Amino acid sequence: MRVFTKEELINNMVDHPYETNPDFHANVNFFFYSRDRKMLMAYYEAPEGWFDVEVQGFEEIDYVLEGEVELVSEGKSLTAKAGDCFLIQDGDKFRWKMKKPSKMIFFLYPLTEEIKKVIAECR
């Protein structure tokens, strides 16, 4: 068992740039990996803004702690606010909009080589 304190989550964050919107940057702390290194858990803080996503080979569950997030795909829109949880699945393609500055916890499985590359690029 282990407690991850708020201070640990905030103090160990790295910059996360996005190729689909070079002007947008978030902060993330990849703070837990499963023993088999196939699942990760992360704390995420982002300002208002957007980036495009194409999910390939993994699924992600996000829990919104603060803020508001909108996912837009082919004219359809999904909005998640503080206290909401949402699922992103393999094959999903959408624009991720931070309608307000947001804080989230997310789980990602399985940890693909592409995701490992993205993590390595964060600093």
Distance CA 24, CA 15 (A): 10
What is the reported pLDDT for 110?
A: 98
pTM: 0.93
Domain ranges across the chain: 6-103
Distance CA 121, CA 119 (A): 5
What is the reported pLDDT for 123?
A: 79
What is the percent of the chain where pLDDT is above 90?
A: 95
pLDDT digit string (tens) for 60-100?
A: 999 999 999 999 999 899 999 999 999 999 999 999 999 99
pLDDT of 14 above 90: yes
Residue 78, CB half-sphere, CA atoms under 13 Å: how many? 15
The CATH homologous superfamily to which domain 6-103 belongs is Jelly Rolls (2.60.120.10)
Classify the phi-psi angles of 115: left when phi > 0, otherwise alpha if psi is within -120 to 50, otherwise beta. alpha
